[in-house]
Amino acid sequence: MDLTPIQRRQLTTLFAQSMKRFEKAKNGTYPYEDYELLFELVAKYRPHSILEAGTGYGLSSIALALGSTRSRIISLDKNHEVLEVARSNAREFGVFDRIGYVQTTFLDYLQNTSDGQFDMVFFDGFAPGLTLFLELERVLKRGGIMICANLQLRGDRRKITQRMNEDKYYSGFGESNGTIWGIKK
């Protein structure tokens, strides 16, 4: 399944609008650029439950929702204004009913989340530390897909990449533009 030309145009427009918001607000909410990768991974693996850590302006959660109509997304961000923009964008795309936006910090949410609860986890916060990565990994089901962005920034890039590249933890390792993904064993 591919994005339709209309969806692609709409997402491209939303990305451009999100970039303008980012440049104006200077709040660190940079939109995730490789939204087509998210769409493709969801279309291929068809996860039912997805956790997104880092809502931004909703571009990535919309791409995740468009990838499969069966997917339900919980998207986390601590910034109320950003969440309101994301909710509005999801309504415009007709996917609002499948995305739950939660105002919280990642670690606060994860501390109250059961092991193996999600089929897919997508991290798009500033830069992941190993502690946060291991918590995200804990809530991912066996056979679930871990997607981790922003490894080009700072954080524990080497440790996270090494862990996801080890056969005992993950299979199907992929990498593109500072984003890595794999299937949890």
Fold of 5-184: Rossmann fold (3.40.50)
Helix (H) or strand (E) holding 61: helix 59-67
b/e map 134-143, b = 16+ CB within 10 Å: ebbbebbbee
DSSP state of 47: -
The three-state secondary structure class of 115 is: coil
Domain assignments of the chain as residue spans, ordered by start = 5-184
CB within 8 A of 90, min separation 6: which ones?
Answer: 58, 61, 62, 65, 96, 99, 101
Give the least confident one: 7-16, 123-132, 151-160, 169-178.
151-160
pTM: 0.87
The three-state secondary structure class of 15 is: helix
Beta strands in 16-168 (DSSP E): 49-53, 72-77, 99-103, 118-123, 140-148
Give the least confident one: 22-31, 91-100, 125-134.
22-31
- The per-residue pLDDT for range 112-161, each reduced to its tens digit, is 999 999 999 998 876 677 888 899 999 999 999 999 886 655 667 778 77
